């Protein structure tokens, strides 16, 4: 190959590399995972005039699409009231949702059952789905605002 041929080939390779770098610069960065963070949640009324409210902290797990969490709940029903602290694991579902499976750590009563959640709509500030325990009810998770002084 002549020196002129080598220079033309080198320029062509540089042009391809520059085009690839330009494409990479134009590509949008991946959106941050909306799941980890502090959340407040509340169900719609269910059962004998009951409502479940709580606060949950979700942390990214060791593998993508898995999470660990801990939360506190307050269940208020016309005939009773209960509080519980629960731990949980969460996994991204095939359709893009989130499945949260919990275990009771402590509660006011020994008969408190874990509250599990299947969330179909995940957003940066809101997630929606269903709570399932002894009863089932629609639930909305809202991003908790950071406290500032």
Give residue 26's pLDDT.
Answer: 64
pLDDT tens-place string over residues 77-128: 988 899 999 999 999 998 889 999 999 999 986 689 999 999 998 889 999 9
Residues with Cβ < 8 Å from 119, sequence gap 6 or more? 97, 98, 99, 100, 127, 128, 129, 139, 141
Bridge partners for 89 per DSSP? 68, 101
Higher pLDDT, 24 or 37: 37
73: its two tokens: 């709940």
pTM of the model: 0.77
Residues 37-143: name the CATH superfamily.
Answer: Quinohemoprotein amine dehydrogenase alpha subunit, domain 2 (2.40.128.120)
Which of 18-22, 23-27, 39-43, 60-64 shows the lowest mean pLDDT across its residues?
Answer: 18-22
Is a pLDDT exceeding 60 seen at residue 58? yes
């Amino acid at each position: 190959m002549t020196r002129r041929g080598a220079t033309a080939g080198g320029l062509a390779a540089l042009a391809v590399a520059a085009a690839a770098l330009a494409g990479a610069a134009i590509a949008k960065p991946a959106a941050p995972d909306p799941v980890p963070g502090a959340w407040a949640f509340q169900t719609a009324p269910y059962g004998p005039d009951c409502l479940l409210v709580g606060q949950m902290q979700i942390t990214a797990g060791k593998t993508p699409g898995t999470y660990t969490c801990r939360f506190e709940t307050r269940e208020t029903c016309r005939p009773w009231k209960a509080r519980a602290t629960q731990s949980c694991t969460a996994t991204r579902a095939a359709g893009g949702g989130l499945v949260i499976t919990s275990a009771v750590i402590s509660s006011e009563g020994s008969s408190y059952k874990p509250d599990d959640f299947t969330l179909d709509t995940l957003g940066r500030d809101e997630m929606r789905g269903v709570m399932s325990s002894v009863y089932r009810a629609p639930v909305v998770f809202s991003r908790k605002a950071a406290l500032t002084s």
